[in-house]
Amino acid sequence: MDVPQKSIVPAVEVRDLAIGYDERVVLENLNFAISPGEIVCIMGPSGCGKSTLLKHIIGLYQPLKGDILIRGESMVNTTAERKKTLMRSLGVTYQGGALFGWMSVAENVEFPLREYSDLTAAERREKVLEKLSMVGLEKFGTFMPAELSGGMCKRAGLARALVLEPDLLFFDEPSAGLDPLSSAELDKLILDLRKRTGATVVVVTHELDSVFTIGDRALMLDKEQKTLVADGKPAELLRQYAGSRVGDFLSRNGTAHR
């Protein structure tokens, strides 16, 4: 007799989603699921709605239609209090790091712990040092954000996103403004964090090197069709859509990624 397989609840599931502002639709007919432990890159040309979709998934905006499930629980059809709890369980980093300029690096990382945990001051300091060490900034806790490079600010933002031990991480254009070396180092850090923590990672990016380096899957959005036009492993999408707009996007500048 066959033993029934235990179903795996998606870390993120988007069902028949339409998003936009007021009555203006940005994207519609969105359906996809992200499995626990996956790194999924959301890509597409400028203005296609990548960051807008991310902000809807993490609960900052209310969709025009459809549902977003986090670990099987609706982010849309729930109480305001439960939605806040779900949002606090997510780790999010923004384009510029979004650090508080009047706080030191360590104080920035500690901030979520002060707001949402019952840890003692000593326990918070230990947790902050642990997360700063994970991103290679253990010697920079007393620095102010203005004293850091762009790449270091992004890593500090990542340490803050990690401090509450989330199993779901969201990155909005993590490589924006970084030189190629710093961008590659950040890609390596994301892969290392997934290996060490098992977290699910969703990355909004237009950087093809990052898509092919870290992405288990890529979701491509199209601003003319206003929907998801491709979903799969980056290298497979490059072959499958050769000669199309999707293929041209994945191989732009004449660079063939493998």
**What is residue 144's predicted lDDT score, i.e. its pLDDT?**
94
**What is residue 117's predicted lDDT score, i.e. its pLDDT?**
86
Q: Which residues contact 104 (CB under 8 A, 6 or more apart)?
A: 141, 142, 143, 144
Reference 161, options 198, 181, 183, 132; nearest CA is 132
3-state secondary structure the chain: CCCCCCCCCCCEEEEEEEEEECCEEEEEEEEEEECCCCEEEEECCCCCCHHHHHHHHCCCCCCCEEEEEECCEECCCCCHHHHHHHHHCCEEECCCCCCCCCCCHHHHHHHHHHHHCCCCHHHHHHHHHHHHHHCCCCCCCCCCHHHCCHHHHHHHHHHHHHCCCCCEEEEECCCCCCCHHHHHHHHHHHHHHHHHHCCEEEEECCCHHHHHHHCCEEEEEECCCCEEEEEECHHHHHHHCCCCHHHHHHCHHHCCCC
Pair 84, 78: CB distance under 8 Å: no
**What is residue 253's predicted lDDT score, i.e. its pLDDT?**
41
Per the structure block, which two tokens stand in for 173? 């254009």
Q: How far is CA 184 from CA 28, 110, 165, 174, 248, in A?
A: 33, 27, 24, 11, 23
* Structural domains in the chain, sorted by start: 1-89+211-253 (3.40.50.300)
**What is residue 34's predicted lDDT score, i.e. its pLDDT?**
97
Pair 172, 125: CB distance under 8 Å: no
- The whole model's pTM is what? 0.89
Q: Which residues pair with 19 in a beta bridge?
A: 27
**What is residue 258's predicted lDDT score, i.e. its pLDDT?**
45
Over the chain (258 residues), the average pLDDT of each successive run of 10 is: 64 96 90 96 91 94 95 94 92 80 94 89 94 90 92 89 91 83 88 91 91 95 93 93 86 53
**What is residue 212's predicted lDDT score, i.e. its pLDDT?**
93
